[in-house]
Amino acid sequence: MTKLSVNINKIATLRNARGGNIPNVLNAAINCQLYGADGITVHPRPDERHIRYKDVLDIRPIIKTEFNIEGNPSDSFIDLVLSVRPHQVTLVPDRHDAITSNAGWDTVRNRIFLTDVVATFKKAGIRTSLFVDTNPVNIENAAVTGTDRIELYTEPYASGFSLNAAEAIEPFIKAAEFARELGLGINAGHDLNLDNLNYFHKNIPWILEVSIGHALISDALYLGLENTIQMYKRQLAD
């Protein structure tokens, strides 16, 4: 069964816009778990414009499901992950000033670097995942690094879904099949929502985990957090 990890960055963005501690990020993490989320994802960036490093430290003790930390593996990020020891770290090649992650790793150019980082985390007992596109070359070289999983960058699928769903999903099916042949676990994320998630899941049912933040938190403004999480879970159950 595909697990749902809720990315709570947007809740921290709202808090930071006003200052103070409303909405409370820790309470949000607790409630997401209570409402059925299979995991919590955070993506701290160097400027701490949403999730802060202190949030990550504070959240770790309250996680009863699975904790996934995303980010570009700078020295400070690596130190944070090693101190927190989440269940999973997802390495993402975003620039420090990126609004959101918008590309997967070039695993050919960065293979040696990624191999070293993956080894560091695996030595600490932390499952690793690399954010990649559907290019088989990048998937093959991701496997060479020793990573446990990849996370497919699904923005191209989401963008093309309303125009031609079958065409949009095809490269992701091929990529997922290839990754499975290489022995990689497969996660997915970016712009997945209530409209496109079920079709993605039905076509690639062996996806282990989807990480969803922006769409889910936005839907929760209208539908309520508990109801929204359950709606997303149902998309993964059919």
Give catalytic status of residue 96 as yes or no.
no
70 is catalytic: yes
* Active-site pick, 50, 66, 151, 190: 190
Report the predicted TM-score, pTM, of the whole model to 2 decimal places: 0.94
User: pLDDT tens digit string along 153-212?
Assistant: 999 999 999 999 999 999 999 999 999 999 999 999 999 999 999 999 999 999 999 999
Locate 80 and state its tokens.
């944070």
pLDDT per residue over 59-106, tens digit each? Answer: 999 999 999 999 999 999 999 999 999 999 999 997 655 545 567 899
Catalytic annotation present for 190: yes
Rounded Cα–Cα distance for residues 92 and 97 (Å): 13
Q: The domain containing residue 157 runs over which residues?
A: 3-235
Mean predicted confidence (pLDDT) in 219-227: 98
Q: What is the CATH number of the domain that holds 166?
A: 3.20.20.70
Catalytic residue among 70, 151, 201, 209: 70
d(CA 43, CA 205): 26
Query: Distance between CA atoms of 44 and 9, rounded to whole angstroms?
Result: 8
One-character DSSP codes across 96-135: TT-SS------TTTTHHHHHHHHHHHHHTT-EEEEEE-S-
Domain count, the chain: 1
